[in-house]
Structure 1
Amino acid sequence: MGRGNKKQQCPKDGVDAAVEVSDTGNAAAASGATTVTGYQGPVPGTDGAPGAVRVSGTGDAIAFGGGLANAGYIHQVSVKKLTMVQQRVPQEPAPWPHQIGVIPSRAQSFQHRTEVDRLRAPVEGGGTAVLSQVLTGMGGVGKTQLAADYARAAWEDGSLDVLVWVAASAQSPMVTGYAQAGVELCRADPDNPEQAAKQFLAWLAPKAGQRPCRWLVVLDDVADPDDLIANLDDPDTRYSLWPPASPYGRTLVTTRRRDSALFGDGRRRIEVGLFTEAEAVAHLNASLAAHGRSEPADQLTGLALDLGYLPLALAQAAAYLVDSGLGAAAYRDLLADRATRLVDTAPDRLPDEQAVPLAAAWSLSIERADTLRPAGLARPMLHLAALLDANGIPHDVLTSRPALAHLTAHRTRIGPDVPGGSEPVSPRDAVHALRALHRLSLIVHTPDTPHQAVRVHQLTQRATRDSLTPDQHDEYVVTAADALLAAWPDIERDTALAQALRVNTVALTPIAEDALYGQDTHEVLYLLGESLGGSGQVSAAAAYFRHLVDTTTFHLGPDHPDTLTARERLGYWRGCAGDGSGAAVAFADLLPDRVRVLGPHHPDTLATRRELARWRRVMWDLAGAAAILADLLSDCLRVLGPDHPDTLATRWTMARLQAFSGDAAGAAGAFAKLLADRDRVLGPDHSDTLATRREVARWRGVDGDAAGAAAMLADLLPDCLRVLGPDDINTLITRRLLARFRREAGDAVGAAAALAELMPDCLRVLGPDHNDTIITRREMAVSLGEVGDAAGAAEAFAKLLSDCRRALGPDHYETLIVRHELAYWRGTDGDAVGAADACAELLADWERAIGPDHPEVLGILQDVAYFRGEARDIDGAVSAYERLLARQEHILGPDHPDTLTTQNDLAQIRMHP
């Protein structure tokens, strides 16, 4: 038997004996015998002879077939088993400096990042020395490269005596790495890895009188915090694999995990994020330049954005461009093609010693997340999150009833304890599933921002979607749409939530393909457009419904009721965006199609007639609107009944027509009657009831009771705030009207202060170009003039006019109103000639754009006459008063008070020029 450490089973006369031999010399044995050279004591249990076999001072040993030749110290023989162990001579400790394990090679286009500086910062902000650091982040952000750069720099600057790099993806390679260090540094036994690992960890701890060792241990890619506790299930043998704290030692861990067990105890957590745009572009440029390639800067910037600034994705994309010869623009087209799987965008050979292609970067993390409690829910939760907005998904969506039903039905089968779909999933379970994904860095879950509680990298989403079958994809898309719909409140009190829901619906629709257009269009698609318009983005709502008309026509056909509904909403929001004429034409075109497809008495057909009347009234075809509404109300009463919401809506439209026809008192009475019925049918807190209360107050104020209107609006405002919320457009309008009638009732200062408070809310909620924001600015400018600052009012109107022309167009009603106000306040400030000329010019534009019979025409003519008189242009004033009188007699009648006042003014200027 040669030298070395051996164990061998040797039967002897039917009795096993254990023999351990060391420091051997030479011996000879014949077949079936044992020869031992040296000292031999009594052997217990063999032929009754007591004692032990002990051998020392031996010489050479030679064994023949079946025999055992042994030389050395034999210290034990047992009756049952003969085991021979020959111990190798312990390895002498390696001299310092010494490295154990291989540091990964530097990536070809490694970028210096802020994390590099944080790693090298020797102390925390409070001055405490950092001994342990944990780099955590999603797969592919470059944690290993950052750790390798740190280790390499520390090794090369001579600040280390020992560097140990350990692959830590499981406990076994960690123990193996420690054991190798124990053998090389501590004379540990290589045949007992666990003991060698313990010996090394004990060696790292500082000891009095021992030469200090400056060490760095890197544990790369820790996959599970439990892997850092050996023999976890046995309290008697359990021990930690964390290197001990030492003033001379440093520990660096990289991991995708965010479990609290990895942090604390003085360990500095460094969250590794994505590249910045500049870093991402620099990485692409450097990677391509190394192979003699270059690409346009705008294309590389776009590609970096397409890849979400993920380092792993950028490196593999650069390699693909080099290997394939493809240009950046073509590669971006490949990425944008939804039929292209992520795996098809990876190079055949991965760069920088990378182990997995991008598409597989998160697969192991998903498997591990699925094993965390509640087991089996992480994967189906990620399936839903992969379909929504990468930058923020509301909690309410992922814990809604449709989401919970999805988790219950598609729970991953982990083992016999999780049969899949056996028990209903609760909202708490859903939150725990999100935490499991967060702990594996597959998502970022921030419960303290509930409207953007979940963020997922866009490439993680894409890889997840690529794993779905077509049937799964379509089913989960509908589930995601159902979840959005379930989370959408009837009244959007919380504007931040509404915005998040819109963004998530927009994110869903491009990947939904035809899944949301089955036999019917999914309701969430209509809700998105309504929410856009309701938030003040009326032009965006019109553009959205124009697109929806195209898609419903493509998927369902031009005569499908859903296509007709999309056309109706397009017409409505076109009108709200300022194109009243286009809205009137759109409803006139829609009406015969609804009659043909749905019938003349279908509620949607009746609603189309009502909208046609509304927009004809807006375009000042008052007679045409009145004729439509008279016939419509009769049909609504007969078909729907007096209490149907559509019948009540028709009465609302008729009251508005009455108001805009100049009969403010009649309109106030009509709204008061409607209010009683809406309160009875819909309830006092219904949004339509609250709006009707507002209109009663408005038209009483216009009819001359400004104080009464202000009092009614002051009573209404708390209910609007309570029911609709502070950011609802109806609440904002109520605040504006309250300020207006306070001013008209004599409190100009209080009105100005109220409007100053309202303006920031309008800008925040509605935006600067919304019609109601512009009206609020107009009211503020009027308030300036009312408190005596005519010059300030004129200046404010000049700025507003520029914005109106840009946002609404030169012929919009509000633009023309602002022109009139600007002329009036310039005249009040002393420029009577300019005011008269501006009003005369406005009159022609108004009659062309709006019509000659609009009541505002009378006010413009009155100001022409007044400012001509102020400028001492008596002939011009007389001519203007004569035109005004003729128009008043035509519109208001000869006995109207305003007509009589003009007759008096004309007589006065003729008598006293």
Structure 2
Amino acid sequence: MTGGTDGHAEGHGRVYQSRGDQHITEHHHYGGDGTGYVGPDSVRRPAVGRCPVALRDRGEVMERLRESVGPERGGQVYVLYGMGGSGKTAVACALFEEVAGEQGRVGLWVNAADRASLRAGMLAVAADRGAGDGELLAARNGLRPAADLVWSYLDRSTEPWLLVLDNTDEPEILRDGDWLRTSPRGTVLVTTRRAAARWWPGAELQHIGVLPRADAALVLRDLAPHSGTAEQAARVADRLGRLPLALTLAGGFLSHQVIDPWTLDTYRDRLDGDERVRLIDRGADAMSEANPRQLVGLTWQLTLDAFEARGLPEAAALLRLLARFAAEPLPLTLLDHSAIGALLPRDRTETALRALLDQSLSELVDTAGTRCAQSHGILLDSVSAATPAHLLPELDATAVRLLDAVVPAVPDAGPYDPRLRLLVPHTLTLLRQVAEPSAADALAVATRLAVALHRTGDYLSARETARTAAELGQRHLGADHRAVLAARSRAGRALFRLGAYAEAEAELRTVLDAQRRLFGADDADTSDSGYGLQLVLANLGRREESVALLRDTVAGRRSALGPSHPLTLRARAGLLETLSATDVVTEEDGALLALPGECERALGPDHTVTLGVRHNHAWALYLLGRFDAADREIRQVTDAYARRWGPDYPLVLAARQLLSRTRAALGHPEEAITLMTDVVERRERGLGPEHPFTVASRRVLDAHRSGRRQP
């Protein structure tokens, strides 16, 4: 065991290795997480803007599903599959409302469109079913299996439940962690476009297709009852392929015509006669259920034509901008920035959005306490495909600038912020679509977002964001581009935090070698990768290599950033914890022990780096046998940590562990035992009894009880 907190540190979080002889290093990550898990605002309500006014032609499906959630029923998985826009979510929403409103079951709704959304939603389910803050924090930070935690609480639920996994169009993400399971306490309902049986072993599959002619006509008449007869509605429905999404868009358009209302016949004539729509819809007469894009394109293009005629061209511009992002909740704050002025006047953004909402081209949803706009994926895909090529460069540049404005400019440690995770799918979708002129800027924003996620403890999201961004950016920029290497370095740092030391070392060493060759040893990016690699080496027990690389990092950061930069001070703090008692006194001609004062003068006493430096400084004092000074400092640090992050946060527990050592060294064994008993109990709740950190803390407790002093 090395270090006052069972290890060294940077950033915030805990990592461990348990292969062979355990060398457990618990790094002081200078940052924090909230005391409790923060995920979606609610899993007790469908994460959709609104359920349909009436559910047409789904009676047989609904009857089967009702039986699955009857009294004493459970242990089943139902999969609703069909093309985009067919109404799978509408069926799930209708069942959810029945279950939650009439049958007394608990309804739990999770957006499973991507790994980050799935994981956040499922952990919110665990919280709903009684999981504690410590357990949730450890699961989110990758220190215990998240899926196991969720399903253990679902299995123990005192109330029967219905769990909806919506938008599961990448079912492979369910296998990463074994998220899809069965339980006698409830029923799982999945919506997806992917119908292959291999994805859904043991599940009952139900196809959701286009509507019969009469029911499709009813959808139009539900939304626009005064626009024409049932037969006229049926003819329009035929023209739209009877796809529920296209019908909803058409009905929304018709219902909002005020000055010169269109009839259903007028609408159908425009569908048949508008040359621009024909170009969009080329080949639509042979439309198959596998490709609804052209059908949707028929409806939204007429709506945008109407906007133009009514003097609202901004609505078309806004819809094209939204199509550069993902079909996921988009925070409205992203649209409230001066950068949008390149496409439409900022003071007209509200009007444009209201026009899209009125025409059912978008909807408002609340996610993680944030008001968002969301549009259907098929609609956005259709709009993107029909956007003229000459508009794309400005659209991409504007989208990048808007994202850049909402991602923290200098990410700092702090409480978990679900708004950051909301930005992940939009950032990656933009990277998939963006052309070369904006690719480097988009990749830089994605990497900074990964840093922000990392520094709030969301290591899995950070790793996935950085890894995917690097792969996407490399297509345009090449493997040796600075931005690509920076993204790969950040992915390596996240791997380290997740305990994948071998993978992290290989990735960081490859990146570091490339950066040294291309940019030089003292380059800021090179130093960042070197700092990350030395953390891995320290945890692998290769202390000499780690210290040598850390000294190189300190020199590089001094040269590139200056002696008072937070990153330079953070690297020097690593030496305070890594060096032996003898070396820490002689390092930098003795100046290293004065580092807390330097940090307070440069950054202030409450800065995250300052607190972390004082934590490491207290460990150095403990090693030097200066127990009174170490005790005073770590007590102050522990109190500051607890105020910021709560009693269960790992860094708080690490500080309290060091405090127990100083109390024991000063002749207060009972107080030391009380402190360590609490630390062990909290780690057992959060990490489990066999986790290396729990085992290490238990050793310290045993030493206190036996009267032995631990180094």
Matched residue, 1:420: none
Matched residue, 1:22: none
Residues 694-709 of structure 1: pairs in structure 2 closer than 5 A: 694-697=615-618, 704=627, 708-709=632-633
Could you tell me how far apart the structure 1 residues matched to 2:520 and 2:342 are? 39
As a proportion of its length, which structure holds more helix?
A: 2
Cα deviation, residue 598, structure 1: 1.4
Matched residue, 2:636: 712
Give yes or no for the alignment of 1:486 onto 2:424: no
In 2, are the aligned partners of 1:700 and 1:709 still within 8 Å (CA)? no
Give yes or no for the alignment of 1:627 onto 2:544: no
Cα deviation, residue 486, structure 1: 0.6
Of 340, 352, 356, the match for 1:403: 340
Residues 16-31 of structure 1: pairs in structure 2 closer than 5 A: none
Matched residue, 2:563: 642
Q: Aligned pairs, how many?
A: 463
Taking a change above 3 Å as real, the CA distance of residues 570 and 699 of structure 1, as seen in their structure-2 partners, is: same
Of 336, 340, 358, the match for 1:439: 358
Taking a change above 3 Å as real, the CA distance of residues 480 and 281 of structure 1, as seen in their structure-2 partners, is: same
> Deviations 1:52-80 (Å, cap 9, x if unpaired)?
xxxxxxxxxxxxxxxxxxxxxxxxxxxxx
In 2, are the aligned partners of 1:655 and 1:671 still within 8 Å (CA)? yes
Matched residue, 1:572: 493
Could you tell me how far apart the structure 2 residues matched to 1:731 and 1:666 are? 36
Could you tell me how far apart the structure 2 residues matched to 1:536 and 1:487 are? 19
> Deviations 1:759-797 (Å, cap 9, x if unpaired)?
xxxxxxxxxxxxxxxxxxx55257x9xxxxxxxxxxx98
Residues 834-853 of structure 1: pairs in structure 2 closer than 5 A: none
Taking a change above 3 Å as real, the CA distance of residues 466 and 587 of structure 1, as seen in their structure-2 partners, is: closer
Residues 355-504 of structure 1: pairs in structure 2 closer than 5 A: 357-369=295-307, 375-408=312-345, 425-426=346-347, 429-445=348-364, 451-489=370-408, 490-491=411-412, 495-504=417-426
Cα deviation, residue 457, structure 1: 1.7
Matched residue, 1:505: 427
Matched residue, 2:682: 780
Residue 632 of structure 2 aligns to which amino acid in structure 1?
Answer: G
Residue 682 of structure 2 aligns to which amino acid in structure 1?
Answer: M
> Deviations 1:693-751 (Å, cap 9, x if unpaired)?
44445665786457524531355248x74xxxx59xx9934543465467665568986
Cα deviation, residue 303, structure 1: 7.8
In 1, are the aligned partners of 2:328 and 2:426 still within 8 Å (CA)? no
The percent of aligned pairs where both chains have the same amino acid is: 20
Give the alignment's Cα RMSD to 1 decimal.
5.6
Could you tell me how far apart the structure 1 residues matched to 2:209 and 2:383 are? 19
Taking a change above 3 Å as real, the CA distance of residues 346 and 633 of structure 1, as seen in their structure-2 partners, is: same
Could you tell me how far apart the structure 1 residues matched to 2:632 and 2:613 are? 16
Taking a change above 3 Å as real, the CA distance of residues 605 and 387 of structure 1, as seen in their structure-2 partners, is: closer
Of 41, 57, 72, the match for 1:110: 57
Cα deviation, residue 495, structure 1: 0.9
SS of the aligned residue for 1:453 comes to strand
Cα deviation, residue 498, structure 1: 1.2
Could you tell me how far apart the structure 2 residues matched to 1:388 and 1:400 are? 16
Cα deviation, residue 394, structure 1: 0.3
TM-score (norm 1): 0.42
Cα deviation, residue 382, structure 1: 1.5
SS of the aligned residue for 2:370 comes to helix
SS of the aligned residue for 1:642 comes to coil
Matched residue, 2:574: 653
Could you tell me how far apart the structure 1 residues matched to 2:585 and 2:709 are? 15
Residues 79-478 of structure 1: pairs in structure 2 closer than 5 A: 110-112=57-59, 343=281, 346-348=284-286, 357-369=295-307, 375-408=312-345, 425-426=346-347, 429-445=348-364, 451-478=370-397
Taking a change above 3 Å as real, the CA distance of residues 314 and 529 of structure 1, as seen in their structure-2 partners, is: farther
Taking a change above 3 Å as real, the CA distance of residues 303 and 346 of structure 1, as seen in their structure-2 partners, is: farther
Of 579, 600, 623, the match for 2:521: 600
In 2, are the aligned partners of 1:394 and 1:450 still within 8 Å (CA)? no
Taking a change above 3 Å as real, the CA distance of residues 407 and 447 of structure 1, as seen in their structure-2 partners, is: farther
Taking a change above 3 Å as real, the CA distance of residues 403 and 620 of structure 1, as seen in their structure-2 partners, is: same
Give yes or no for the alignment of 1:736 onto 2:653: yes
Could you tell me how far apart the structure 1 residues matched to 2:210 and 2:536 are? 44
Matched residue, 2:446: 525
Taking a change above 3 Å as real, the CA distance of residues 754 and 446 of structure 1, as seen in their structure-2 partners, is: farther
Cα deviation, residue 577, structure 1: 1.9
Taking a change above 3 Å as real, the CA distance of residues 598 and 500 of structure 1, as seen in their structure-2 partners, is: same
Matched residue, 1:773: none
Matched residue, 1:183: none
Taking a change above 3 Å as real, the CA distance of residues 741 and 485 of structure 1, as seen in their structure-2 partners, is: same
Which 5+ residue runs of structure 1 have no aligned equivalent?
A: 1-106, 116-138, 143-273, 285-293, 321-340, 409-424, 756-777, 785-795, 805-813, 829-858, 868-895, 900-913
Matched residue, 1:222: none
In 1, are the aligned partners of 2:431 and 2:443 still within 8 Å (CA)? no
Relative contact order: is structure 1 or structure 2 higher (C-alpha 8 Å, sep ≥ 6)? 2
Cα deviation, residue 488, structure 1: 1.8
Cα deviation, residue 575, structure 1: 1.9
> Deviations 1:269-303 (Å, cap 9, x if unpaired)?
xxxxx99999x999x9xxxxxxxxx9979899698
> Deviations 1:588-621 (Å, cap 9, x if unpaired)?
4434432321133333334444444333223222
Give yes or no for the alignment of 1:536 onto 2:474: no
Indicate the structure (1 or 2) with the bigger Cα radius of gyration: 1
Taking a change above 3 Å as real, the CA distance of residues 663 and 451 of structure 1, as seen in their structure-2 partners, is: farther
SS of the aligned residue for 2:329 comes to coil
Could you tell me how far apart the structure 2 residues matched to 1:480 and 1:732 are? 36
Residue 712 of structure 1 aligns to which amino acid in structure 2?
Answer: Q
In 1, are the aligned partners of 2:365 and 2:372 still within 8 Å (CA)? yes
In 1, are the aligned partners of 2:363 and 2:373 still within 8 Å (CA)? yes
In 1, are the aligned partners of 2:331 and 2:373 still within 8 Å (CA)? yes
Taking a change above 3 Å as real, the CA distance of residues 611 and 641 of structure 1, as seen in their structure-2 partners, is: same
TM-score (norm 2): 0.52
Cα deviation, residue 472, structure 1: 2.0
SS of the aligned residue for 1:650 comes to helix
Taking a change above 3 Å as real, the CA distance of residues 696 and 469 of structure 1, as seen in their structure-2 partners, is: same
Cα deviation, residue 452, structure 1: 4.0
Could you tell me how far apart the structure 2 residues matched to 1:639 and 1:386 are? 40
Residue 432 of structure 2 aligns to which amino acid in structure 1?
Answer: P
Residues 735-754 of structure 1: pairs in structure 2 closer than 5 A: 735-737=652-654, 739-740=656-657, 745=663
Residues 39-58 of structure 1: pairs in structure 2 closer than 5 A: none
> Deviations 1:825-877 (Å, cap 9, x if unpaired)?
9xx8xxxxxxxxxxxxxxxxxxxxxxxxxxxxxx8xx99xx99xxxxxxxxxx
